[in-house]
Amino acid sequence: MEAGLPARLTRIPSEAPAGIVHLGLGAFFRAHGAIFVAEAMARSGGDWGIIGVSLQSPGTRDRLAPQGWAYTALELGPEGETPQVVTVLRDVLVAPEDPQAVLDAMAAPSVKIVSLTVTEKGYCHEPATGRLNADHPDIRHDLDHPLPRSAPGFLVRALAARRDRGLPPFTVLCCDNLPENGRVVRGVVLDLARLIDPALADWIAAEGAFPATMVDRIVPATTPADLDRLAALTGTRDEAPVMHEPFRQWVVEDDFCAGRPDLGAVGVQLVKDVTPFEHMKLRMLNGTHSSLAYLGYLAGHETIADTVADPVFAGFVRRLWRAEIIPALTPPPGEDLAAYAEALAARYANPAIRHRTWQIAMDGSQKLPQRILGTIAEGRAAGRAVPGLTLAVAAWMRYASGRDEDGAAIEVKDPLAPRLAALWQDDPARTVAGFLSLAQVFPAALRDDPGFAADLTAALEGLIRDGARASVAAHG
């Protein structure tokens, strides 16, 4: 079945029928959730094969189809690379080509879970409030058409089909880096369902389940050079491998309405409350990732490993953890935050992971609230200085202007990109005032805090005057 992929690699066998539909079949899920599920089935059985759905383009489907949906996951350790073949996918559907086929798959009686990695912007919500943005063009489309475009649209229409067929709902398992991601996706699904059919919303609210999760594994985008290196390593060409670091963590609220794979047997932490884990990971990992991405990019660093190899940045990130982020966190059960920070420093430094600052810099308007702005707001409310994170926000603004320190164009990827670029003015105070008027990004506590506006303006002035590296050095 896995034509072209060598049998001598370690295999995760599984021939079980599909019990999971996954929306957003990017590299992250294939290197994280899919592997946990495959291992859980290999260990404890169960019909948890996965049907992947690409919500945008056919590329992944077209590359995986000739391989019988199998692919190599290449672990990039500091001391070497270890491939394994993952055979848990049963099919890949491309939503824009055939949305009905996606709805049919999601409404199949064998499907018990619909998981998602559709990125922050895929939920069509307001990042600052967590509520559905009913004016989002895809949501407006999905309100009027039975064949949806958006992830919330697919969830609602598929749940409606199940109710109409007398089937129970599936569990909606959000695997994106959103705070309280289960509650957010439940909120957008119920908001949309209510606009379509209030009785459907009541049924979903009563019968459905939306466990929160914390997901973690660094998965840099696969490059053409990776394909060549892997082919040399294994002797076979895989057109759709994924690259990942050795570390992985998945913390899941144990609230499933129709069963689940035996995830606990393969190291998934099944807990009652994911919130402290989410805060730890979003603020300590993703918060510093974004800070290093904007400042590192402006300082001319291509990857996170390159950035933290620069001693000025290595000192800066440690100071962010120690002085600005950890003081605002409650440690989750069993976690030591100082040790977690040390482990992150080692993960960032892994030279085998070529994780581009440009890749992490994407979609800043969707990421900053949960990664950085919450820590800043809590720090300021507690009277704690947060100069490093404030500098990171200034760097985001500079990055979003679309020009780097040499005046060269930056390819800014963000749903708000044109709007952000237009906010850039010659006068830093006016630039800051413009950005702070973005209610969908900045919480009220920061929008209404003149002290924050002043600090941010000073940070931006320094950034423009001295450049990113010198500004970071001044904070070290």
Residue 142 to residue 119: CA distance in whole angstroms:
19
Q: Which residue is nearest to ligand CS2 (CB)?
A: 289
Q: Which of residues 365-384 bind ligand CS2 (CB under 6 A)?
A: 367
What's the token pair of residue 340?
């977690």
To ligand CS2, the closest distance from the beta carbon of 244 in angstroms equals: 10
**Identity of the residue, 153 or 179, whose beta carbon is nearer to ligand CS2 in the bound complex:** 179
Per-residue x/- track, 423-462, ligand CS2 (CB under 6 A): ----------------------------------------
Pattern of binders to ligand CS2 over 264-293, x per CB under 6 A?
---------------------xx--x----
Return the structure tokens found at 437: 């008027």
The contact mask relative to ligand CS2 for 150-179 (x = CB under 6 A, - = no) is ---------------------------x--
Q: Is 248 in the site for ligand CS2 (CB under 6 A)?
A: no
**Nearest distance in Å: CB 37, ligand CS2:** 17
Of 132 and 360, which has the nearer Cβ to ligand CS2?
Answer: 360
Q: What is the sign of the dihedral through the CA atoms of 94, 100, 103 and 107?
A: negative
User: Considering the rule CB under 6 A, would residue 217 count as an interface residue with ligand CS2?
Assistant: yes
Bridge partners for 253 per DSSP: 271
Cβ nearer to ligand CS2, comparing 84 with 359: 359
- The smaller minimum CB distance to ligand CS2, of residues 125 and 367, is found at 367
* Residue 292 φ/ψ region, left for φ over 0, alpha for ψ in the -120 to 50 degree band, beta for the rest: alpha
- Does the footprint of ligand CS2 cover residue 94 (CB under 6 A)? no
Identify which of residues 186 and 217 has a Cβ nearer to ligand CS2 in the complex.
Answer: 217
Alpha helices in 149-180 (DSSP H): 151-164
Widest CA span in the chain:
65
Minimum distance from residue 194 beta carbon to ligand CS2 (Å):
31
Q: Judged by CB under 6 A, does residue 360 bind ligand CS2?
A: yes
Choose, by CB under 6 A, the member of 37, 55, 102, 218 that binds ligand CS2: 218
Q: Does 216 bind ligand CS2 (CB under 6 A)?
A: yes
Contacts of 296 (CB under 8 A, 6+ apart): 304, 306, 307, 310, 313, 357, 468
Under 8 Å CB-to-CB from 379, ≥6 apart: which residues? 324, 327, 328, 385, 386, 389
Continuous H helices in 240-283: 275-280
Of 44 and 269, nearer to ligand CS2 (C-beta) is: 269
Judged by beta carbon, residue 2 or residue 245, the one nearer ligand CS2 is 245
Q: Which residue has the tokens 């990171």?
A: 392
* Least spacing, CB of residue 367 vs ligand CS2, in Å: 6
User: Minimum CB separation from ligand CS2 for residue 248, in Å?
Assistant: 9
Task: Establish if 118 lies at the interface with ligand CS2 (CB under 6 A).
Answer: no
Query: In terms of CB distance, is 19 or 287 closer to ligand CS2?
Result: 287
| 151-164 and 137-144 helices, crossing angle to 10° | 20
**Residue 400 CB, nearest approach to ligand CS2 (Å):** 15
Contact by Cβ (8 Å): 244, 267: no
Structural Rg of the chain based on CA atoms? 22
Question: Which residue reads 């949309």 in tokens?
Answer: 192
**Interior CA angle at 322 toward 321 and 328, to 5°?**
75
- For ligand CS2 (CB under 6 A), the number of binding residues is 10
**Residue 251 φ then ψ, to 5°:** -115, 125
The β-bridge relationship of strands 249-253 and 213-216 is antiparallel
To the nearest 10 degrees (0 to 180), the angle between helices 137-144 and 181-196 is 40
Nearest distance from C-beta of residue 115 to ligand CS2, angstroms:
16
> Closest approach of Cβ 216 to ligand CS2, in Å?
4
Strand, coil or helix: 205: helix
The site for ligand CS2 (CB under 6 A) is made up of: 177, 216-218, 285-286, 289, 359-360, 367
